[in-house]
Structure 1
Amino acid sequence: MSTKPYFQLYAHNIAVKGSTRSAIYDLQRQDIVLIPNVLHRVLRHLVQHPWRETQQAFAPGNPVVFQQYIDFLLRKDLGFFLHNPASFPALSLAWNSPHHVQNAVISYAFAHYHLGAVLAQLDQLQCQHLELRLRLPGQNWPEVLALFEQMAAMSFASVSLLLAYSEAVPDEQQLRLLYEHFPKIQHIIVHDAPYGAPSAAHPEHVVFVTADLQREQPRDRYIVNSEFFTEAMRFNPYYNRKLCVDDAGYIKNCLLQPKRFANVNTTRLATVLQDADFQELWHAAPDQTVGLQDSELRYAHFSADYLVRDTGSGLFNRVSHPAAVPALDLVDVV
């Protein structure tokens, strides 16, 4: 054992306790190391006490067991011995974003509202990521190109284009040219296609798929990095600062949910964003979600679960996602 009096995790390694086991989030390597809860208690004690005091507190008659824990952490390169813990401050876990909207999902069928006006509002809100879902009813491709010309000077850092397959959808060569011409495009996906095939030139960015992405719920996955971790400590990363507009122009938290707040034809996006009811799911953090709050993986869990707040406890419950709402009769929606 080292002659240095203290042992601690590197600042980018954060220990998180779960109900039956704990985890160390290695935010630099974007990895998670699972540990027993007793080791989590040891690590908390080590934050304020020399390692010899911690050994006496947890394994006074069995230093070999304590040594095994330390050797495990060293082998995984998760921590180090030191003389002065004050010289190695903890990583700031504050989360801030200058953007009023981080992520927008816009569904449009070239009717019922003016898409260019909605994009201009998103630009004013400093929206970072746009997912544009289009259904081409006819020869509207020139309009699509004009929209991307408009977006070239806007705030979007990235744009994903989802096209519902139809005879009006351009061929792979035209889609490739669009992708190559506009650097902001991250992906072009033609979904509900009769075949699945990637672009020969850009197989990871331009692709035809058979799945119907209009109605498919995003899959749960795990994301490990400092930005996601700090956001998940206070917010729900799926809903936080997210805004959706459906084909009819209704503003929602998620296109798959039936709840709608206003219509873009009558209400500006900025007005809806200030509504506490609209922001409720932003604050459905993992620590406030039943069934997730005791998981050691809660700060890495990205899920599109349909959440409903329990008025008694104030906690959010994950419920079965409602079926996608059938297409509305839009004749009178203007």
Structure 2
Amino acid sequence: MKESDFYVLYSHNVAVKGKDKSAIYNLHKGKLTFVPNTLVDVVDALRTTCIAELRSDIATDDDRKIFDDYLIFLEKHRLGMFIENPEQFPPMEKIWKNPYEIISAITEFDCFHQHYDLTEVLMQLDQLTCNFLEIRLYNTDLDYMKKVLKAIYYSGIRSINLVLEYMDGLEREITEIYTRNPKLECILVFKSQREIDFSEIDSIKFTSLTLEDEVLHIDGDEYIINTKYFMEAQHHHPYFNRKVVIDRFGNLKNDLSFRKIFGNVNGSEIAKLLAETDYKDLWTARPDNVIDYQNDPLRYCRIYTDNLKKVNGVYTVDKD
């Protein structure tokens, strides 16, 4: 480190300011380093102003001591590098691109009441280039489930999570169902009458919990720290973006827990509902445009699941 040096963070390290503190995201290792906001100010300044010049502008000895401590911190933690030519190391462009019209979908279905045609809905999701699918079955019917899985075997859907309500005899067939369907990432059986050990296949789990017990609940303190999620959060709301949710009655929603309905798949095709309603509105509710999130230094890695409402062009959490 020389007095004539500038400083730049490594391209995979990105500083995000919050109200009271900042976080430096290591997008390669999936780690966070929390730092004072003033340290981020120093890092920003050192991209265009060398150490000697920046120190000369500091008025007091105490502030110069803090500045030098920051330099020691940066050198010790190797978050970036001291260099003479910062213009040769531009920051990472914050671009997110995805060619798929729908990225993921959740479908609830009651095998006993059958309020809509699940196979037809899954075919529509395939036409919309859906990649990731979660199917939640109530009153599980094995024959019907096998029929559905067979219908989408050759679809473009890449991976499937299967969530099933327990039924007698399911444990005897579950391994074969899993091994015969390579798109199945995991199978979760809820309301099981007993705990069943499937240690030979980690992707199969039986639990006595119900969905109402929040067995699938996402904790608000869960984080995803990687380049893909970070870049998506610059432009979209990662939890809602290009996601289709259909409840057991065939209602289209942004989330199963929300009250607002955007139509029913019995009356219209999914593509038509997406085009003719404001369903997609939450897709673009990026964290910087949500009043409740915009001062959170973790806003580009936290999984936000709140319902939102739009007021004067910005979003806020809907607490009603």
**What's the TM-score, normalizing by structure 1?**
0.87
Name the CA shift for 1:67/1:108 in 2 (closer, same or farther; >3 Å). Answer: same
Alpha-carbon separation, structure 1, partners of 2:269 and 2:182: 29
Alpha-carbon separation, structure 2, partners of 1:191 and 1:64: 59
In structure 1, the partner of 2:73 is 72
1:24, CA displacement in angstroms? 0.7
Name the CA shift for 1:251/1:52 in 2 (closer, same or farther; >3 Å). Answer: same
In structure 2, the partner of 1:213 is 211
In structure 2, the partner of 1:86 is 87
- Structure 2 letter corresponding to 1:73: L
In structure 1, the partner of 2:176 is 177
Moved more, 97-106 or 288-297: 288-297
- Structure 2 letter corresponding to 1:255: L
2:46 counterpart of 1:46:
yes
Name the CA shift for 1:118/1:317 in 2 (closer, same or farther; >3 Å). Answer: same
In structure 1, the partner of 2:267 is 266
Do the aligned partners of 2:109 and 2:137 also contact (CA within 8 Å) in 1? Answer: yes
- Structure 2 letter corresponding to 1:155: G
Q: Please give the residue correspondences for 1:1-334 in structure 2 after superposition, counting only pairs within 5 Å.
A: 1-2=1-2, 5-58=5-58, 61=61, 63-110=64-111, 111-136=114-139, 140-167=141-168, 170-171=170-171, 173-203=172-202, 205-213=203-211, 216=214, 217-220=217-220, 221-275=222-276, 277-310=278-311, 313-320=312-319
Name the CA shift for 1:288/1:276 in 2 (closer, same or farther; >3 Å). Answer: farther
Do the aligned partners of 2:3 and 2:52 also contact (CA within 8 Å) in 1? Answer: no
What per-residue deviation string (whole Å, max 9, x for no partner) do you get for residues 66-105 of structure 1? 2321222232221112222222222121111111111100
1:315, CA displacement in angstroms? 2.7
Name the CA shift for 1:305/1:299 in 2 (closer, same or farther; >3 Å). Answer: same
Alpha-carbon separation, structure 2, partners of 1:252 and 1:240: 13
1:132, CA displacement in angstroms? 0.3
Name the CA shift for 1:188/1:229 in 2 (closer, same or farther; >3 Å). Answer: same
1:200, CA displacement in angstroms? 2.1
Three-state SS of the structure 2 residue aligned to 1:34 is: strand
1:260, CA displacement in angstroms? 0.9
What per-residue deviation string (whole Å, max 9, x for no partner) do you get for residues 295-334 of structure 1? 1111111021122223xx43322244x7xxxxxxxxxxxx
Name the CA shift for 1:58/1:264 in 2 (closer, same or farther; >3 Å). Answer: farther
In structure 2, the partner of 1:327 is none
Structure 2: give runs of 5+ residues left out of the alignment.
none
Alpha-carbon separation, structure 1, partners of 2:199 and 2:103: 32
1:157, CA displacement in angstroms? 2.0
1:12, CA displacement in angstroms? 0.9
Three-state SS of the structure 1 residue aligned to 2:278 is: helix
Do the aligned partners of 2:100 and 2:130 also contact (CA within 8 Å) in 1? Answer: yes
Name the CA shift for 1:96/1:277 in 2 (closer, same or farther; >3 Å). Answer: same
Name the CA shift for 1:276/1:73 in 2 (closer, same or farther; >3 Å). Answer: farther
Name the CA shift for 1:88/1:275 in 2 (closer, same or farther; >3 Å). Answer: farther
Moved more, 211-220 or 288-297: 211-220
Do the aligned partners of 1:4 and 1:81 also contact (CA within 8 Å) in 2? Answer: no
Name the CA shift for 1:113/1:282 in 2 (closer, same or farther; >3 Å). Answer: same
Three-state SS of the structure 1 residue aligned to 2:192 is: coil
1:214, CA displacement in angstroms? 5.3
Alpha-carbon separation, structure 2, partners of 1:183 and 1:72: 48
1:3, CA displacement in angstroms? 6.1
- Structure 1 letter corresponding to 2:124: Q
1:130, CA displacement in angstroms? 0.3
Do the aligned partners of 1:219 and 1:304 also contact (CA within 8 Å) in 2? Answer: no
1:4, CA displacement in angstroms? 5.9
Moved more, 269-278 or 6-15: 269-278
Name the CA shift for 1:245/1:7 in 2 (closer, same or farther; >3 Å). Answer: same
Do the aligned partners of 2:262 and 2:277 also contact (CA within 8 Å) in 1? Answer: no
Structure 1: give runs of 5+ residues left out of the alignment.
323-334
**What's the TM-score, normalizing by structure 2?**
0.91
CA-atom RMSD in angstroms? 2.1
Alpha-carbon separation, structure 2, partners of 1:179 and 1:290: 44
How many residues end up aligned between the 2 structures?
314
